[in-house]
Chains A and B, each alone.
Chain A
């Protein structure tokens, strides 16, 4: 499968713990996006990268969230001191380039449950 992959697929953690998710984009896709989706809502933008540069970060994203893409390939999203409100599906997407002609391809998501 050469699509976007995300690990783990499911994560259950206790409130206050730190969690890290990984996204592997499609090979040679230089744009990588993170979205969050809660029950009954559409995906909500978190941040995106052009290669290793983080170009935009949602103002809704608290300081507990951090994302990296150190070598311009895979990316990690870390949530520190998790709260129950962080429970959601975290989606990663990648695209070949900039602009609306380049489709964003989504991964299967990581479902986070904070107890």
Chain B
């Protein structure tokens, strides 16, 4: 069955430190991967998608089909990055999203 795994419930770093939020997926077809973010008291919103190969707010993510991973990285964390991050998978012929359980990122000053 299709699955998204985010092994860390909580990741705490100091401002300026590098960040890597891990995401692994299970899907035999050609996946579409996304990162969604939810800041405190705000709604869930798209951060980035692998198909766009973009950098948003300094974050990047590379799809590694060999390792079935889509880790989210930022070289220098900022306090405003503190939020809940969800990795999500979309499959061929459907637009539904399968989400991981999320990782809470805390960036301390």
Contact with A along B64-106 (1 / 0, CB 8 A): 0000000000000000000000101010001111111110000
When the two chains form their complex, are residues B86 and A48 in contact, meaning their CB atoms are under 8 A apart? no
**Which listed segment binds B: A10-18, A64-72, A76-84, A104-112?**
A104-112
When the two chains form their complex, are residues B96 and A48 in contact, meaning their CB atoms are under 8 A apart? yes
- Label chain A's interface by main secondary structure: loop
A85 at the interface (CB under 8 A from B): no
A103 at the interface (CB under 8 A from B): yes
Q: What's the nearest-Cβ distance from chain B to residue A47, in Å?
A: 9
Interface size on A, residues (CB 8 A): 27
Bound complex: CA A4 to CA B102 (Å): 22
Of the candidates A3, A43, A56, A99, the one whose C-beta lies within 8 Å of that of B99 is A43
When the two chains form their complex, are residues A100 and B43 in contact, meaning their CB atoms are under 8 A apart? no
Contact with A along B1-40 (1 / 0, CB 8 A): 0001010010000000000000000000000101000000
Using a CB–CB cutoff of 8 Å, the interface residues on chain B facing chain A are 4, 6, 9, 32, 34, 43-46, 49, 51, 86, 88, 90, 94-102
A-B interface, 8 closest residue pairs, ranked by CB to CB distance from nearest: A42-B99, A106-B44, A100-B32, A45-B96, A43-B99, A103-B46, A106-B43, A42-B86
